Amino acid sequence: NAGVTQTPKFQVLKTGQSMTLQCAQDMNHNSMYWYRQDPGMGLRLIYYSASEGTTDKGEVPNGYNVSRLNKREFSLRLESAAPSQTSVYFCATTQGINTEAFFGQGTRLTVV
């Protein structure tokens, strides 16, 4: 079992380019999340999906879109990358609301 798999691990984009971060889990969890982590700040929730077919905005959704493709996969899209989106992005899953979050290995994104 791989757990939570994110691709890619590293990416450099030019301002204005688009890309999609992929996340897949084999834990049969209902809820999936996308966070960003910046130096000196806690993890900030971008979007989450409480269950297949639903998505909701988190704390910092501007500039991002998501798709819950099926129960296993949750993707994050940057339509027009900006330097302010330079960050480490983590996908996470939980079985329910008050349960342990399992994280992917992270994607280090640099926008120049």
Question: Counting beta carbons within 10 angstroms of the beta carbon of residue 66, is it exposed (0 to 12), middle (13 to 18) or buried (19 or more)?
Answer: buried
Query: Least distance in Å: CB of 59 to another protein?
Result: 8
**3-state DSSP assignment of residue 83:** helix
Helix (H) or strand (E) holding 77: strand 74-78
Query: Least distance in Å: CB of 41 to another protein?
Result: 5
Query: Least distance in Å: CB of 106 to another protein?
Result: 5
Distance (Å) of CA 15 to CA 53, 66, 75: 31, 20, 20
Positions that interact with another protein (CB under 8 A): 35, 40-45, 48, 58, 90, 97-98, 100-101, 103-106
Round to whole Å and give the CA distance between 17 and 94.
31
Query: Least distance in Å: CB of 108 to another protein?
Result: 9
Of 17 and 101, the one with the shorter C-beta distance to another protein is 101
Of 17 and 22, the one with the shorter C-beta distance to another protein is 22
Of 44 and 71, the one with the shorter C-beta distance to another protein is 44
CA 85 to chain centre: 12
Of 78 and 92, the one with the shorter C-beta distance to another protein is 92
